[in-house]
Structure 1
Amino acid sequence: MKPIIVTGTDTGIGKTIVSAGLAQALGATYWKPVQSGLEEETDSEIVARLSGRPVLAEAVRLKLPASPHISAEAEGARIDHASLRLPKAEGALVVEGAGGLMVPLDDETTFLDLFARWGAPVVLVARTALGTINHSLLSLSALRARGVPVAGVIFSGAAAPRVEQTIVDMGRVAHLGRLGHLDPLTPETLRTGFEDIDMAAIRATMEAA
């Protein structure tokens, strides 16, 4: 079974919550290759808390909460993207990117380059708010141009049926469900929220990739 990669149309749209839900639902291990920002709870810590699943150590940990290439520069370092390889895990593996597809690892390399090299299927997390059609279709186009397999889109936010349908129709992609606002956000409410996510389609993509 191939890993499943979680990316988004932007930062702060719920990728980490979706990653935690996927790890929980798949009984998977989670890995965040690059973490920028260490002062607050990290994405790995959030996923561990919400999913109860094993979490692998990040390959790169940077203090400054900024684009990874800028965070690395602030520490006088450079990210060796060539060394970022998918780790071996027992069972399924959920991998979370940083920000969107075009977030740089250095001045020449983006997360999209990394995903294309890995060849694992991607779940795109997209807002339902204004502007999401443009961001989502651009992201899907970029993934396809690089030959990255797309499992589908998980929407984040309040229901917007017309917007969601436009994205899946024009983007020629599967609608994997929508995760609404969870309050409180707990392992239990996350599990309930994921009852609306098409896990069968995600598993099938991971097995077929």
Structure 2
Amino acid sequence: MNIKSLKVVVCGTDTDVGKTVVSSLLVQGLSGVYWKPIQSGLEGGGDTNRVCELLTLPKERWIPEKYKFKAAVSPHWAAEQEHIIIKPNLLKVPLVNQSLIIETAGGVMVPLTRQYLQIDLLKEWMLPIIIVARSGLGTLNHTLLSIEALTKRKIPILGLIINGPLHKDNPKTLEQFGGVPVIAQLPKLASLSASSLAKEWLKQDIRNRLEQLLETTNR
């Protein structure tokens, strides 16, 4: 797999860790297609709407959600409140001719139904995962548990993107104990915009970093 055809899943270690911001960073930097298959919580139009507005994405650069629920709760419960059952067999990876960035609803162990976890879907897809982790207190436990769950199921992890104020030790510690490389550290941006994300993409040479990791993975 090369970077022009990279299909990657963006998972968070917790709620509000910055998955949508990181997904926007990747979609813009790779000129890719964005897809969030399941959206829980429609205030503000949901994450697809946020990414499209932030990046001014044309219609061919995003794919509509398969499921959209009003309640900002776990997908299985949000679906139940609307008398819907999420059918994992309908969540097939779309065929696109460019990079595809898939943003999950929450973390790897979030239930999609009462019998099926999100990590079960990730196991079926077997696409490389980028884990988004917060930079500060609590990230070590949450991130290492996420890495352990994915590794146990032999789901490939491309790397971590750490979101928030720069931390002196956590990135090093996560690499040490998790055995997963840090792709980038996205600091708190004074203003979130397509321009500010583009600056970080170039400043941290994220494209080159991803190419290096893909080359290592393909060996």
On whether the aligned pair clears a TM of 0.5, the verdict is yes
Unaligned runs of 5+ in 2: none
- Is 1:201 aligned to 2:209, yes or no? yes
1:56 to 38, 51, 63: 63
- Is 1:146 aligned to 2:153, yes or no? yes
- Is 1:155 aligned to 2:159, yes or no? no
Structure 2 distance, partners of 1:151, 1:113, is: 18
Work out the percentage of aligned pairs sharing the same amino acid. Answer: 36
State the 1:112 CA deviation: 0.9
Structure 2 distance, partners of 1:149, 1:162, is: 25
Query: Which secondary structure state, in structure 1, belongs to the residue aligned with residue 62 of structure 2?
Result: coil
Query: Which secondary structure state, in structure 1, belongs to the residue aligned with residue 185 of structure 2?
Result: strand
Given that 1:2 and 1:120 are in contact with CA atoms closer than 8 Å, whether structure 2 keeps it comes out as no
- Is 1:121 aligned to 2:125, yes or no? no
1:33 to 32, 37, 44: 37
Structure 2 distance, partners of 1:202, 1:144, is: 20
Please report the RMSD computed on the Cα atoms of aligned residues, expressed in angstroms: 1.5
Paired amino acid for 1:186? S
Alignment of 1:4-153 (within 5 A): 4-53=8-57, 54-153=61-160
Given that 1:3 and 1:206 are in contact with CA atoms closer than 8 Å, whether structure 2 keeps it comes out as no
Structure 2 distance, partners of 1:193, 1:73, is: 40
Q: Which stretch of the first structure deviates more once superposed, 44-53 or 196-205?
A: 196-205
Given that 1:7 and 1:124 are in contact with CA atoms closer than 8 Å, whether structure 2 keeps it comes out as yes
Structure 2 distance, partners of 1:184, 1:126, is: 20
Q: 1:6 to 1:200 in 2, by over 3 A?
A: same
Given that 2:76 and 2:113 are in contact with CA atoms closer than 8 Å, whether structure 1 keeps it comes out as yes
Q: 1:118 to 1:166 in 2, by over 3 A?
A: same
Deviations 1:109-138 (A, max 9, x none): 111111111011000001111110011111
TM-score for both structures, normalised by structure 1: 0.94
Q: 1:85 to 1:206 in 2, by over 3 A?
A: farther
> For this pair of structures, how many residues does the alignment match?
209
Given that 1:28 and 1:94 are in contact with CA atoms closer than 8 Å, whether structure 2 keeps it comes out as yes
Paired amino acid for 1:13? V
Q: 1:197 to 1:50 in 2, by over 3 A?
A: farther
Unaligned runs of 5+ in 1: none
Deviations 1:74-120 (A, max 9, x none): 01111001211101112110000011111110012111111111011
TM-score for both structures, normalised by structure 2: 0.90
Given that 1:101 and 1:111 are in contact with CA atoms closer than 8 Å, whether structure 2 keeps it comes out as yes
- Is 1:165 aligned to 2:172, yes or no? yes
State the 1:205 CA deviation: 4.9
Q: Which stretch of the first structure deviates more once superposed, 77-86 or 17-26?
A: 77-86
